[in-house]
Amino acid sequence: MALSTPANYEDWIPEERDGQVLRALTETSWVEAHAKKYAMRSDTLSIPRSDGMDVSGVYKATDYTYDEGDVDNVILVAKKFGKVVGLNEEDLEDSHLNLLEEKRLDWARAYAVAFDNACLGVTGAADHVDRPFVSIYKSLRTSDSTTSYTADDNHVLSASAGLVSYDDLSEVLGIYEQGEYFDEARTAIVAHPSFKQQLRGIKDNEGRPIFVQGQTSPENGTPSTLFGYPIMFSHGAKTSATMTRRPEGKALLFVTNVDFVALGVRSGPESQISPANAGIGFISDQAILKMRSRRGFALTHQGAASVLEVQ
């Protein structure tokens, strides 16, 4: 007779705020580091979206006029990301190894890239697992009557591989800067690391580099900048048909107002080891480490972003 699977598990253990795992996550994932976070107390969260407000002059002793702007909602839906790994008892008992920490770090780095790819570069319509969200790239390529956005609004620019120019970069920033959602203090850029080599060689008309390498270590938090805006590089910033930590499509560079990049935080990153007592399965010398994160994501208005894709 087969033994039943143990039903007694340790509680989920959230990663410490200043721990290595969360540092690795925010150093690797642009979305986790920069998006506007919303706490989710259920699997769905409705956040308001306004198309702005007009301002009118008012004569003395006359009535104020009502604003006619529309307000609707964006629904964040929490999706679950996770993995399990088997750990040998002998390895766990080696005092010079911290295998649990290493596996948590491995998962955090892989999750950071795959999550960015899901939020930034997945090209297909959203489903539950392979395409958890409507990515920013997909959103900018899709007309949306709710926001009066059409896919030919030129928020997606293209450049040839190896031939990204000063004008390409200036134009993709200019499209965003000329829109009503531009806010200099809230502007951030994310690009695939393949842009780095080309950015290092581009200078303005006065011979000054437009890309300035910063120091992102905990001791020195000076960010890298492009045209004076902070820029971070993510391996997830490439197109792919489905979410992956190894996307192989077009390299992407996004310019965004991060207030319109919504990240719903339901739980995690967190981990759990089973079974509860000794941490080692009775019928084998192996423990199971389970790791997960639950997140929602949406670009709340297409006018708050633009993208340069390299063919």
Token representation of residue 162: 């190896």
SS3 category, 108: helix
DSSP string, 165-198: -HHHHHHHHHHHHTSTT--GGGEEEEE-TTHHHH
Contact between 110 and 227 under an 8 Å Cβ cutoff? The reply is no
pLDDT for the residue numbered 240: 95
Contact between 94 and 80 under an 8 Å Cβ cutoff? The reply is no
Tens of pLDDT along the chain (311 residues)? 344 444 444 565 655 555 677 778 888 899 999 999 999 999 999 988 766 666 778 888 888 877 666 667 888 999 998 877 777 666 666 655 577 777 778 888 898 999 999 999 999 998 878 899 999 999 999 998 888 888 876 899 898 877 899 999 999 999 999 988 999 999 999 999 999 989 998 988 888 889 988 875 544 568 899 999 999 999 999 999 999 999 999 999 999 999 999 999 998 788 777 754 444 555 666 677 788 889 999 999 999 999 999 97
pTM for this prediction: 0.84
Beta-sheet strands, E only, within the chain: 13-14, 36-39, 44-50, 71-77, 79-88, 156-159, 187-191, 211-212, 224-226, 229-233, 251-257, 261-274, 286-299, 305-310
What the chain holds in terms of domains, given with CATH numbers, is: 13-49+73-310 (3.90.1690)
Helix (H) or strand (E) holding 23: helix 20-28
pLDDT for the residue numbered 72: 74
